[in-house]
Protein backbone atom coordinates (compact mmCIF):
# COMPACT_ATOMS: atom_id res chain seq x y z
CA UNK A 1 0.00 0.00 0.00
CA UNK A 2 1.02 3.61 -0.48
CA UNK A 3 2.96 4.49 2.68
CA UNK A 4 2.21 8.18 2.24
CA UNK A 5 -1.49 7.43 2.74
CA UNK A 6 -0.87 5.39 5.89
CA UNK A 7 -3.33 6.84 8.44
CA UNK A 8 -1.71 5.38 11.57
CA UNK A 9 0.63 7.38 13.80
CA UNK A 10 2.52 5.25 16.36
CA UNK A 11 4.46 7.90 18.30
CA UNK A 12 4.28 9.25 21.82
CA UNK A 13 1.35 11.61 22.33
CA UNK A 14 0.40 11.80 18.65
CA UNK A 15 -3.31 12.11 17.96
CA UNK A 16 -4.50 8.82 16.43
CA UNK A 17 -6.75 8.99 13.38
CA UNK A 18 -9.61 7.54 15.47
CA UNK A 19 -9.77 8.36 19.20
CA UNK A 20 -11.98 5.39 20.00
CA UNK A 21 -13.45 4.33 23.32
CA UNK A 22 -12.89 7.59 25.22
CA UNK A 23 -16.14 9.46 24.52
CA UNK A 24 -17.39 9.49 28.13
CA UNK A 25 -14.12 10.82 29.48
CA UNK A 26 -13.88 13.52 26.83
CA UNK A 27 -17.47 14.60 27.47
CA UNK A 28 -16.82 14.75 31.22
CA UNK A 29 -13.82 17.02 30.63
CA UNK A 30 -15.79 19.23 28.27
CA UNK A 31 -18.58 19.68 30.83
CA UNK A 32 -16.08 20.61 33.54
CA UNK A 33 -14.36 23.12 31.25
CA UNK A 34 -17.64 24.81 30.34
CA UNK A 35 -18.92 24.85 33.94
CA UNK A 36 -15.76 26.45 35.32
CA UNK A 37 -15.95 29.23 32.73
CA UNK A 38 -19.52 29.95 33.86
CA UNK A 39 -18.51 30.22 37.50
CA UNK A 40 -19.88 26.81 38.47
CA UNK A 41 -17.92 24.23 40.44
CA UNK A 42 -16.56 21.06 38.88
CA UNK A 43 -13.78 18.66 39.79
CA UNK A 44 -10.33 18.60 38.30
CA UNK A 45 -9.13 15.24 36.95
CA UNK A 46 -6.01 13.07 36.99
CA UNK A 47 -5.97 10.37 34.31
CA UNK A 48 -4.43 7.12 35.54
CA UNK A 49 -3.02 4.43 33.30
CA UNK A 50 -0.08 2.35 32.15
CA UNK A 51 2.29 3.41 29.39
CA UNK A 52 0.80 3.24 25.93
CA UNK A 53 -2.81 3.75 26.96
CA UNK A 54 -3.13 7.20 25.38
CA UNK A 55 -3.08 9.47 28.44
CA UNK A 56 -0.99 12.15 26.73
CA UNK A 57 -3.23 12.00 23.67
CA UNK A 58 -6.22 12.64 25.91
CA UNK A 59 -4.51 15.56 27.66
CA UNK A 60 -3.84 17.10 24.27
CA UNK A 61 -7.46 16.58 23.29
CA UNK A 62 -8.65 18.17 26.55
CA UNK A 63 -6.34 21.14 25.99
CA UNK A 64 -7.88 21.69 22.55
CA UNK A 65 -11.37 21.57 24.07
CA UNK A 66 -10.31 24.12 26.70
CA UNK A 67 -8.89 26.44 24.04
CA UNK A 68 -12.14 26.19 22.09
CA UNK A 69 -14.02 27.27 25.21
CA UNK A 70 -12.21 30.51 26.12
CA UNK A 71 -9.70 28.91 28.47
CA UNK A 72 -6.07 29.93 28.63
CA UNK A 73 -4.03 26.72 28.82
CA UNK A 74 -0.63 25.67 30.13
CA UNK A 75 0.67 22.20 29.26
CA UNK A 76 3.78 20.89 31.00
CA UNK A 77 5.46 17.54 31.33
CA UNK A 78 6.93 16.86 34.75
CA UNK A 79 10.43 15.46 34.28
CA UNK A 80 12.28 13.80 37.15
CA UNK A 81 15.08 16.42 37.13
CA UNK A 82 13.26 19.79 37.42
CA UNK A 83 11.04 21.24 40.11
CA UNK A 84 7.44 22.36 39.76
CA UNK A 85 8.20 26.03 40.38
CA UNK A 86 10.57 26.10 37.39
CA UNK A 87 8.04 24.34 35.20
CA UNK A 88 5.17 26.69 36.06
CA UNK A 89 6.97 30.04 35.92
CA UNK A 90 7.32 30.45 32.10
CA UNK A 91 3.88 28.95 31.46
CA UNK A 92 2.12 31.31 33.86
CA UNK A 93 4.11 34.23 32.48
CA UNK A 94 2.84 33.34 29.01
CA UNK A 95 -0.77 33.25 30.23
CA UNK A 96 -0.46 36.61 31.94
CA UNK A 97 1.16 38.19 28.88
CA UNK A 98 -1.90 37.23 26.86
CA UNK A 99 -4.30 38.48 29.51
CA UNK A 100 -2.46 41.81 29.69
CA UNK A 101 -3.95 42.77 26.31
CA UNK A 102 -7.51 42.49 27.66
CA UNK A 103 -8.58 45.96 28.81
CA UNK A 104 -10.82 44.80 31.68
CA UNK A 105 -8.07 42.52 33.03
CA UNK A 106 -5.10 44.90 32.96
CA UNK A 107 -5.19 45.86 36.65
CA UNK A 108 -5.55 42.27 37.89
CA UNK A 109 -2.99 41.03 35.39
CA UNK A 110 -0.46 43.61 36.55
CA UNK A 111 -0.99 42.44 40.13
CA UNK A 112 -0.58 38.82 39.04
CA UNK A 113 2.68 39.65 37.24
CA UNK A 114 3.97 41.23 40.43
CA UNK A 115 3.07 38.06 42.35
CA UNK A 116 4.83 35.97 39.69
CA UNK A 117 7.91 38.19 40.04
CA UNK A 118 7.83 37.57 43.80
CA UNK A 119 7.43 33.84 43.17
CA UNK A 120 10.45 33.81 40.84
CA UNK A 121 12.55 35.60 43.43
CA UNK A 122 11.49 33.33 46.29
CA UNK A 123 12.41 30.21 44.33
CA UNK A 124 15.42 31.74 42.54
CA UNK A 125 13.98 30.97 39.11
CA UNK A 126 15.80 32.05 35.98
CA UNK A 127 14.40 30.77 32.68
CA UNK A 128 16.32 31.96 29.63
CA UNK A 129 14.97 35.24 28.28
CA UNK A 130 11.73 35.11 30.29
CA UNK A 131 11.75 38.20 32.49
CA UNK A 132 9.12 40.37 34.15
CA UNK A 133 9.50 44.15 34.05
CA UNK A 134 7.46 44.84 37.18
CA UNK A 135 8.35 45.13 40.83
CA UNK A 136 7.62 42.15 43.10
CA UNK A 137 4.49 42.24 45.26
CA UNK A 138 5.57 42.17 48.92
CA UNK A 139 3.72 39.52 50.90
CA UNK A 140 2.41 37.66 47.86
CA UNK A 141 3.94 34.35 46.73
CA UNK A 142 7.25 35.28 48.32
CA UNK A 143 7.56 33.04 51.39
CA UNK A 144 9.64 30.38 49.65
CA UNK A 145 7.16 27.75 50.90
CA UNK A 146 5.59 26.23 47.81
CA UNK A 147 2.28 25.27 49.46
CA UNK A 148 1.65 28.86 50.52
CA UNK A 149 3.08 30.61 47.47
CA UNK A 150 1.27 28.49 44.91
CA UNK A 151 -2.04 29.49 46.51
CA UNK A 152 -1.13 33.20 46.23
CA UNK A 153 0.04 32.79 42.64
CA UNK A 154 -2.97 30.77 41.49
CA UNK A 155 -5.29 33.25 43.21
CA UNK A 156 -3.71 36.14 41.31
CA UNK A 157 -3.90 34.29 37.99
CA UNK A 158 -7.50 33.23 38.68
CA UNK A 159 -8.58 36.81 39.40
CA UNK A 160 -6.89 38.06 36.23
CA UNK A 161 -8.56 35.39 34.12
CA UNK A 162 -11.93 36.08 35.74
CA UNK A 163 -11.60 39.81 35.00
CA UNK A 164 -11.03 38.96 31.35
CA UNK A 165 -14.04 36.64 31.22
CA UNK A 166 -11.67 33.72 30.69
CA UNK A 167 -10.54 30.63 32.60
CA UNK A 168 -7.18 28.91 33.04
CA UNK A 169 -6.63 25.20 32.55
CA UNK A 170 -3.36 23.73 33.77
CA UNK A 171 -2.38 20.34 32.32
CA UNK A 172 0.52 18.30 33.71
CA UNK A 173 1.71 15.04 32.19
CA UNK A 174 3.78 12.47 34.12
CA UNK A 175 2.40 13.67 37.47
CA UNK A 176 4.16 10.79 39.25
CA UNK A 177 7.46 12.65 38.88
CA UNK A 178 6.29 15.49 41.13
CA UNK A 179 7.70 15.27 44.62
CA UNK A 180 5.31 14.71 47.51
CA UNK A 181 5.58 18.36 48.67
CA UNK A 182 4.94 19.55 45.10
CA UNK A 183 1.92 17.30 44.67
CA UNK A 184 0.61 18.41 48.05
CA UNK A 185 1.07 22.09 47.17
CA UNK A 186 -0.72 21.62 43.84
CA UNK A 187 -3.65 19.86 45.51
CA UNK A 188 -3.98 22.57 48.15
CA UNK A 189 -3.84 25.35 45.56
CA UNK A 190 -6.55 23.76 43.40
CA UNK A 191 -8.65 23.17 46.52
CA UNK A 192 -8.41 26.84 47.53
CA UNK A 193 -9.29 28.02 44.01
CA UNK A 194 -12.42 25.86 44.17
CA UNK A 195 -13.34 27.40 47.49
CA UNK A 196 -12.83 30.90 46.10
CA UNK A 197 -14.85 30.13 42.97
CA UNK A 198 -12.02 31.15 40.66
CA UNK A 199 -11.94 29.82 37.08
CA UNK A 200 -8.98 27.44 37.34
CA UNK A 201 -9.10 23.79 36.35
CA UNK A 202 -6.41 21.12 36.49
CA UNK A 203 -6.00 18.00 34.36
CA UNK A 204 -3.13 15.65 35.05
CA UNK A 205 -1.99 12.28 33.79
CA UNK A 206 0.25 9.69 35.33
CA UNK A 207 0.88 6.13 36.31
CA UNK A 208 -1.64 4.23 38.47
CA UNK A 209 0.12 4.96 41.78
CA UNK A 210 -0.85 8.65 41.56
CA UNK A 211 -4.23 8.11 43.23
CA UNK A 212 -2.54 6.65 46.31
CA UNK A 213 0.19 9.32 46.30
CA UNK A 214 -2.44 12.06 46.08
CA UNK A 215 -4.30 10.57 49.03
CA UNK A 216 -1.09 10.44 51.03
CA UNK A 217 -0.31 14.05 50.14
CA UNK A 218 -3.76 15.36 51.15
CA UNK A 219 -6.57 13.26 52.56
CA UNK A 220 -9.28 15.21 50.70
CA UNK A 221 -7.71 14.61 47.26
CA UNK A 222 -10.21 11.86 46.45
CA UNK A 223 -13.05 14.34 46.91
CA UNK A 224 -11.28 17.11 45.03
CA UNK A 225 -10.28 15.12 41.93
CA UNK A 226 -11.76 12.57 39.63
CA UNK A 227 -9.34 9.74 38.83
CA UNK A 228 -10.48 8.20 35.52
CA UNK A 229 -8.71 4.94 34.74
CA UNK A 230 -7.31 4.84 31.21
CA UNK A 231 -6.81 1.22 30.21
CA UNK A 232 -6.83 -1.02 27.18
CA UNK A 233 -9.74 -0.54 24.79
CA UNK A 234 -12.55 -3.06 24.73
CA UNK A 235 -12.86 -5.17 21.59
CA UNK A 236 -15.43 -2.89 19.97
CA UNK A 237 -13.41 0.29 20.49
CA UNK A 238 -10.15 -1.44 19.50
CA UNK A 239 -11.76 -2.67 16.28
CA UNK A 240 -12.96 0.86 15.51
CA UNK A 241 -9.46 2.24 16.14
CA UNK A 242 -8.15 -0.11 13.42
CA UNK A 243 -11.01 -0.36 11.00
CA UNK A 244 -12.23 3.25 10.70
CA UNK A 245 -8.92 4.87 9.68
CA UNK A 246 -8.48 2.20 6.99
CA UNK A 247 -12.00 2.73 5.70
CA UNK A 248 -11.49 6.50 5.68
CA UNK A 249 -8.77 5.83 3.11
CA UNK A 250 -11.29 3.76 1.13
CA UNK A 251 -9.53 0.48 1.91
CA UNK A 252 -10.69 -2.46 4.04
CA UNK A 253 -9.53 -5.17 6.45
CA UNK A 254 -11.07 -8.56 7.21
CA UNK A 255 -12.77 -9.30 10.52
CA UNK A 256 -10.27 -12.09 11.25
CA UNK A 257 -7.35 -9.73 10.69
CA UNK A 258 -8.85 -7.18 13.07
CA UNK A 259 -9.39 -9.89 15.69
CA UNK A 260 -5.76 -10.98 15.36
CA UNK A 261 -4.53 -7.41 15.88
CA UNK A 262 -6.69 -7.00 18.98
CA UNK A 263 -5.38 -10.27 20.39
CA UNK A 264 -1.70 -9.52 19.86
CA UNK A 265 -1.95 -5.89 21.07
CA UNK A 266 -4.27 -6.69 24.00
CA UNK A 267 -6.22 -3.58 22.97
CA UNK A 268 -3.59 -1.05 24.08
CA UNK A 269 -3.89 2.10 21.95
CA UNK A 270 -0.19 2.61 21.24
CA UNK A 271 0.21 -0.98 20.10
CA UNK A 272 -2.92 -0.78 17.97
CA UNK A 273 -1.36 2.16 16.16
CA UNK A 274 1.90 0.27 15.67
CA UNK A 275 0.21 -2.82 14.25
CA UNK A 276 -2.10 -0.75 12.07
CA UNK A 277 0.89 1.16 10.74
CA UNK A 278 2.84 -2.01 9.94
CA UNK A 279 -0.11 -3.88 8.42
CA UNK A 280 -0.81 -0.97 6.08
CA UNK A 281 2.80 -0.79 4.93
CA UNK A 282 3.25 -4.53 4.40
CA UNK A 283 -0.06 -5.28 2.65
CA UNK A 284 0.04 -5.45 -1.13
CA UNK A 285 -3.70 -5.22 -1.70
CA UNK A 286 -6.94 -4.47 0.15
CA UNK A 287 -8.66 -6.01 2.06
CA UNK A 288 -5.86 -6.62 4.56
CA UNK A 289 -5.76 -10.22 5.78
CA UNK A 290 -4.56 -12.38 8.65
CA UNK A 291 -1.44 -13.14 6.62
CA UNK A 292 -0.69 -9.43 6.46
CA UNK A 293 -1.09 -9.20 10.25
CA UNK A 294 1.23 -12.16 10.79
CA UNK A 295 3.91 -10.66 8.55
CA UNK A 296 3.47 -7.19 10.04
CA UNK A 297 3.87 -8.52 13.58
CA UNK A 298 7.54 -9.24 12.90
CA UNK A 299 8.18 -5.59 12.02
CA UNK A 300 5.97 -4.28 14.82
CA UNK A 301 7.76 -6.28 17.51
CA UNK A 302 11.16 -5.31 16.12
CA UNK A 303 10.27 -1.61 16.23
CA UNK A 304 8.87 -1.89 19.74
CA UNK A 305 11.90 -3.84 20.95
CA UNK A 306 14.31 -1.32 19.48
CA UNK A 307 12.40 1.75 20.61
CA UNK A 308 9.40 1.70 22.95
CA UNK A 309 10.71 -1.10 25.18
CA UNK A 310 14.46 -0.61 24.81
CA UNK A 311 14.59 3.04 25.88
CA UNK A 312 12.90 2.10 29.12
CA UNK A 313 15.14 -0.89 29.78
CA UNK A 314 18.24 1.24 29.14
CA UNK A 315 17.27 3.59 31.99
CA UNK A 316 17.82 0.80 34.51
CA UNK A 317 21.07 0.01 36.29
CA UNK A 318 22.48 -3.54 36.12
CA UNK A 319 20.98 -4.38 39.53
CA UNK A 320 17.62 -2.93 38.54
CA UNK A 321 17.68 -4.97 35.34
CA UNK A 322 18.35 -8.05 37.43
CA UNK A 323 15.20 -7.27 39.42
CA UNK A 324 12.89 -6.81 36.39
CA UNK A 325 14.31 -9.90 34.70
CA UNK A 326 13.46 -11.89 37.82
CA UNK A 327 9.91 -10.56 37.52
CA UNK A 328 9.69 -11.65 33.88
CA UNK A 329 10.99 -15.12 34.73
CA UNK A 330 7.99 -15.57 37.00
CA UNK A 331 5.59 -15.11 34.05
CA UNK A 332 3.09 -12.29 33.71
CA UNK A 333 2.21 -10.04 36.63
CA UNK A 334 1.25 -8.85 39.06
CA UNK A 335 4.09 -10.29 41.12
CA UNK A 336 4.47 -10.75 44.86
CA UNK A 337 7.55 -9.02 46.21
CA UNK A 338 8.31 -12.14 48.21
CA UNK A 339 8.34 -14.27 45.03
CA UNK A 340 10.78 -11.87 43.38
CA UNK A 341 12.99 -11.99 46.46
CA UNK A 342 12.94 -15.80 46.38
CA UNK A 343 13.82 -15.72 42.67
CA UNK A 344 16.84 -13.53 43.43
CA UNK A 345 17.80 -15.36 46.63
CA UNK A 346 17.54 -12.19 48.73
CA UNK A 347 15.18 -10.85 51.38
CA UNK A 348 12.25 -8.55 50.66
CA UNK A 349 13.73 -5.90 52.98
CA UNK A 350 17.10 -5.98 51.26
CA UNK A 351 15.45 -5.47 47.88
CA UNK A 352 13.23 -2.64 49.14
CA UNK A 353 15.50 0.27 48.10
CA UNK A 354 16.08 -1.25 44.66
CA UNK A 355 12.35 -1.73 44.19
CA UNK A 356 11.71 1.88 45.24
CA UNK A 357 14.19 3.21 42.68
CA UNK A 358 12.56 1.24 39.87
CA UNK A 359 9.15 2.57 40.93
CA UNK A 360 10.55 6.11 40.94
CA UNK A 361 11.81 5.61 37.39
CA UNK A 362 8.26 4.72 36.38
CA UNK A 363 9.05 1.15 35.32
CA UNK A 364 6.98 -0.70 37.91
CA UNK A 365 4.19 0.17 40.33
CA UNK A 366 2.37 -1.43 43.22
CA UNK A 367 -1.24 -2.32 42.34
CA UNK A 368 -1.77 -3.83 45.80
CA UNK A 369 0.25 -3.90 49.00
CA UNK A 370 3.08 -6.39 48.59
CA UNK A 371 2.60 -6.70 44.81
CA UNK A 372 4.34 -5.07 41.89
CA UNK A 373 3.75 -5.03 38.14
CA UNK A 374 5.20 -3.39 35.06
CA UNK A 375 3.90 0.02 34.02
CA UNK A 376 4.60 -0.91 30.40
CA UNK A 377 2.16 -3.44 28.91
CA UNK A 378 3.81 -6.52 27.39
CA UNK A 379 7.17 -5.60 28.94
CA UNK A 380 7.61 -9.01 30.53
CA UNK A 381 7.24 -10.59 27.08
CA UNK A 382 9.89 -8.22 25.74
CA UNK A 383 12.32 -9.23 28.48
CA UNK A 384 11.72 -12.93 27.93
CA UNK A 385 11.99 -12.56 24.17
CA UNK A 386 15.25 -10.60 24.23
CA UNK A 387 17.10 -11.65 27.35
CA UNK A 388 15.71 -14.81 28.92
CA UNK A 389 14.77 -17.06 26.02
CA UNK A 390 18.20 -16.46 24.50
CA UNK A 391 20.04 -17.35 27.71
Tens of pLDDT, residue by residue over 216-250, are 666 667 777 888 999 999 999 999 999 999 999 99
In the chain, ranges of CATH 3.40.50.300 domains: 23-226
Question: Beta strand 371-374 with 335-336: parallel, antiparallel or unpaired?
Answer: antiparallel
Which pLDDT belongs to residue 310? 94
Which pLDDT belongs to residue 390? 64
Which pLDDT belongs to residue 355? 95
The stretch 84-103 carries a mean pLDDT of 94
Give me the torsion for CA of 201, 205, 207, 210, rounded to 10°: -10
CATH class of 317-388: mainly alpha
The CATH topology of domain 234-306 is Helicase, Ruva Protein; domain 3 (1.10.8)
Q: Quick check: 27 pLDDT over 60? A: yes
Dist. CA 131–CA 114, nearest whole Å:
12
Dist. CA 283–CA 111, nearest whole Å:
61
SS (H, E, C) 143-199: CCCHHHHHHHHHHHHHHHHHHCCCEEEEEEECHHHCCHHHHHHHHHHHHHHHHHCCC
- Which residues are 44's β-sheet partners? 225
How does residue 97 score in pLDDT terms, banded at 50, 70 and 90?
A: very high
Q: How many residues are recorded in the chain?
A: 391
How does residue 130 score in pLDDT terms, banded at 50, 70 and 90?
A: low
Question: Beta strand 44-48 with 200-206: parallel, antiparallel or unpaired?
Answer: parallel
This prediction's pTM? 0.90
In the chain, ranges of CATH 1.10.10.10 domains: 317-388
SS3 390: coil
In 3D space, the residue among 229, 226, 166 whose CA is nearest the CA of residue 202 turns out to be 226
Q: Quick check: 380 pLDDT over 70? A: yes
Q: Quick check: 133 pLDDT over 90? A: no
Q: Quick check: 5 pLDDT over 70? A: yes
CB 211 within 8 A of CB 242: no
Alpha-carbon distances of 111 from 117, 178, 198, rounded to whole Å: 10, 28, 16
Dist. CA 113–CA 109, nearest whole Å:
6
Which pLDDT belongs to residue 132? 66
Q: Which residue has the higher pLDDT, 129 or 73?
A: 73
Element (H, E) at 48: strand 44-48
The stretch 110-115 carries a mean pLDDT of 95
CATH class of 23-226: alpha beta
Q: Indicate the average pLDDT of the chain.
A: 92
Dist. CA 114–CA 110, nearest whole Å:
6
Which pLDDT belongs to residue 247? 96
In the chain, ranges of CATH 1.10.8 domains: 234-306
Alpha-carbon distances of 306 from 116, 125, 165, 289, 311, rounded to whole Å: 43, 38, 49, 26, 8
Q: Quick check: 151 pLDDT over 70? A: yes
How does residue 17 score in pLDDT terms, banded at 50, 70 and 90?
A: confident
Dist. CA 246–CA 67, nearest whole Å:
30
DSSP state of 226: E
DSSP state of 385: I
pLDDT digits (tens, 9 = 90+) for 168-185: 999 999 999 998 899 999
How does residue 11 score in pLDDT terms, banded at 50, 70 and 90?
A: confident
Amino acid sequence: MDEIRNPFAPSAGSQPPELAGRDDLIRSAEIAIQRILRGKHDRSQILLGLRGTGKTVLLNKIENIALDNDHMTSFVEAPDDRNLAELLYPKIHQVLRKLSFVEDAKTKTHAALRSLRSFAGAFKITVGDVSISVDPQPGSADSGILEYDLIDLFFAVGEAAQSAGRAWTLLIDEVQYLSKPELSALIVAIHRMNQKGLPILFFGAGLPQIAALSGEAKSYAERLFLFPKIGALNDSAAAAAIRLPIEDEEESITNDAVADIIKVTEGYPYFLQEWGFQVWNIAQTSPFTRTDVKDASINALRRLDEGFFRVRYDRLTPKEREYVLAMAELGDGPYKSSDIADQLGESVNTLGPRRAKIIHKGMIYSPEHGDVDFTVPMFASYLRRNFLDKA
